[in-house]
Structure 1
Amino acid sequence: MDFGVRKMVVQVEEIRHEGGPVAAVPRLRGAVVAVVRNPFAGRHEPELQGAMEVLKPLGLEMTDRLIAALGGREGIDGYGKGAIVGEGGEAEHGAIWHVPGGYSMRERLGESRAIVPSAMKVGGMGATLDVPLGHINAAYVRSHFDALTVSVPDGPRAGEIVLVLAMAKGPRVHSRMGGLEVWQIKGEDGLR
């Protein structure tokens, strides 16, 4: 099974304000994208789970690149993942990314109990994907509900998959929707 990488892209955003006062600490959010060959394009493959093991090293490499781009592990408290499958594939080919993408981030980030939010779809070259973000330890922390839009102008080609990992440092700038606050996290079940 060959998921050869054609290219990687790293994007980082520094959000200083959203129309209100300038934040004391800007919010950082970023994504790392790998455009890979889809070995299942153009055919139905009944057994896909073995591919998750093959992609684990790529998940770790991508995680390390994104952590470095965000200035290190300290302060990363949001994450998400996603995939855009080229038209020669199917959405299930993007689901292959659940384990290698999510578990790689959890391994490198340390304590992270919340589910890694995810989005996937089939799309053509230049398709965008809104990758959902959530708090790494408590899914109910509203201040961390967000999405990061990613795209690759020349991908995915029909026989490719765009694999995405996303992370953030801090809540949305000007978050004021109440609910569970970061300081209230118990960290027992990944929810609260």
Structure 2
Amino acid sequence: MSDVAAPEFTIRKITIQIEEILHEGGPLAATPVLRGAVYAICANPFAGRYEENLGPATDALKPLALLLTDRLVTAMGGRDGIDAYGKGAIVGEAGESEHGAIWHVAGGYGMRERLGECRAIVPSAMKVGGMGSTLDIPLGHLNAAYVRSRFDVITVACEDAPRSGEVLFALAMARGGRVHSRSGGLEMDQVKGEDGLR
């Protein structure tokens, strides 16, 4: 454990978006697919300078990850049926991509803590970008990365963020795969969930 003080990621605002997908030109889905994302716009304590030790930031962000997970699960109507997840970050221009990478551990921790058993890696994306930048957050199945129907994305953007000294930290989840998935691969009834792959 480092003796360096934990950095402050003061929250400016939190946004939740929910998408209910009924079709993409084909027949109506018997059960619509639900995709959701939540993001927090936070101060970047490392903006404008190089910090060698980013380790304490991982622990500092865990409470935020739990908060965002709880908000998103509630907005999606509860935990039941959520079977895909992802995470991402957009760092304002005074920062660097590594300031988004610190979300990898914390963001994954928050979702795993709240969603329960999750064996598959949490897909993620990060970049440096200005206000209004979009981020395609990749989604993947919670327990079996080879389930192709859960390969998807949800796009987030905030017109007034991230400002130069901010970071947008995002989490994403889905209930159901692509609405007209028919690309083959591992099907849901074949998932064993033993190794995070199949």
**Number of residue pairs the alignment of both structures matches:** 192
Provide TM-score, normalisation by structure 1. 0.99
- Aligned-residue Cα RMSD (Å) equals 0.4
2:173 to 149, 167, 174: 167
For 2:144, the equivalent position in structure 1 comes to: 138
Separation (CA, whole Å) in 2 of partners of 1:47 and 1:182: 42
For 1:57, the equivalent position in structure 2 comes to: 63
For 1:95, the equivalent position in structure 2 comes to: 101
Separation (CA, whole Å) in 1 of partners of 2:59 and 2:31: 38
For 1:128, the equivalent position in structure 2 comes to: 134
Separation (CA, whole Å) in 1 of partners of 2:94 and 2:167: 10
Separation (CA, whole Å) in 2 of partners of 1:67 and 1:127: 25
Listed as ranges, the matches of 1:2-151 within 5 Å are: 2-151=8-157
Counterpart code for 1:154: D
Separation (CA, whole Å) in 2 of partners of 1:43 and 1:128: 25
- Note the residue ranges of structure 2 that are not aligned, 5 or more in a row: 1-6
Separation (CA, whole Å) in 2 of partners of 1:18 and 1:112: 29
**Runs (4+) of structure 1 moved beyond 3 Å?**
none
For 1:76, what is the secondary structure of its paired residue? coil
Deviation at 1:49, TM superposition (A): 1.2
Deviation at 1:103, TM superposition (A): 1.0
For 2:4, the equivalent position in structure 1 comes to: none
Separation (CA, whole Å) in 2 of partners of 1:2 and 1:119: 22
For 1:66, what is the secondary structure of its paired residue? helix
Separation (CA, whole Å) in 1 of partners of 2:158 and 2:189: 37
Aligned sequence identity (%): 70
Separation (CA, whole Å) in 2 of partners of 1:156 and 1:83: 10
2:186 to 164, 180, 191: 180
- Note the residue ranges of structure 1 that are not aligned, 5 or more in a row: none
Separation (CA, whole Å) in 1 of partners of 2:84 and 2:59: 24
1:69-91: per-residue Cα shift (whole Å, max 9, x none)?
A: 00000000000000000000000
